[in-house]
Amino acid sequence: MASVEVVFTEAEGREAVYEATRRSLQAQPKELPAVWLYDERGSRLYEEITRLPAYYLPRREGEILRDRAPEIARLTRASTLAELGAGSANNTRLLLDALEAAGTLERFVPLDVSGHALQASAETIAAAYPRLAIQAIVGDFERDLGLLPRRGRRLIAFLGSTIGNLYPAQRARLLAALAHELSSEDALLIGIDLVKDPARLRAAYNDPGGVTETFVRNALTAANRELEATFEQRRFAYEARWDQEHEWMDIGFSARAAHRVWVGRLELELAFGQGEPLRVEVSSKFRRERFEREAADAGLRVAHWWTDGAGDFAVALVQPDALGGS
């Protein structure tokens, strides 16, 4: 039987989340960090989003991995597959299958901020892959890379274009941290959503049934519960718009009228003007040249770049640069 070890880091990270929330809410524009999206209900809603017709990302990534997973297994020969921001690990099963078939895989290490979703996913994977050791880590991939086991050859997967939810400075820090973390035998697999027609991008985040809006509004509900805040849903209009300058989707709300919000646990009062935005997350879209430049700046090189047939999405296999990696 596979063992499931859950290393809880939520308690020690709570103060860090609170402080990050304080800084974000006092910034311009005001922002409620995306971590508040992924409570138990939010994780379920996100899984529902991934099944929506207009939300192409997981399907395009899955298409690439179905075609390329055996090649990825051959190239990496990984004994450990770690996944950052694992969630339900649906597309990761394609990698698990290929690495098992190659006969190299010994352990799976999913790391995610949502303990509820991670526990369920780890148990499902353990049942489906009884030969594997499973070590599920509840934590923040921006803070907890040091918890990843260092034994053997490692493939660290960062799928779903989660990297696009980071601002450029955050991406630079994370890629640099990964470059430091990777040995010469390790590799990093990153899913990347590509720049495309803005109308398609807007449709992906504005579904007719309102599932995405419900998901984003759940961040307000979670913040009210955990932070003793007074965000009123009726006072905020949902918005998901394409920002051409930054090439990202800007997702959140605008205040319907001027009002104030009290955040009790942070002892913080927020004043919103009419039409003032409250951002919840961005979703950056990439061009190959831009991503390769960011990787190189961090001491990494893109060894392989695969896209789906429509050219909507890319999966990059990244390795430490011979001059810049550890």
CB 129, CB 135: distance < 8 Å: no
Place of tokens 């991934």: 50
Give the pLDDT mean for 31-51: 91
The single-letter DSSP state of residue 298 is T
The whole-angstrom separation of Cα 76 and Cα 309 is 24
Q: What is the pLDDT of residue 3?
A: 54
Q: Which amino acid is at 91?
A: N
Query: pLDDT of 66-83, one tens digit each?
Result: 999 999 999 999 999 999
Q: What is the pLDDT of residue 17?
A: 86
pTM above 0.85, yes or no: yes
The ranges assigned to domains in the chain are 53-197+285-320
Stretch among 33-37, 246-250, 290-294 having the lowest mean pLDDT: 33-37
Residue 206 pLDDT greater than 80, yes or no: yes
CA-wise closest residue to 43 among 117, 141, 100: 117
Record the tokens describing residue 68, joined without a space: 């390329």
Residue 117 pLDDT greater than 60, yes or no: yes
Q: Exposure of 310 by Cβ count < 10 A (0-12 exposed, 13-18 middle, 19+ buried)?
A: exposed
Quickly state the pLDDT bin for 85 (edges 50, 70, 90): confident
Query: pLDDT of 284-319, one tens digit each?
Result: 999 999 999 999 999 999 999 999 999 999 999 999
CATH class of the structural domain 53-197+285-320: alpha beta
Q: What is the pLDDT of residue 1?
A: 42
Roughly how many angstroms between the first and final C-alpha of the chain, as a whole number?
35
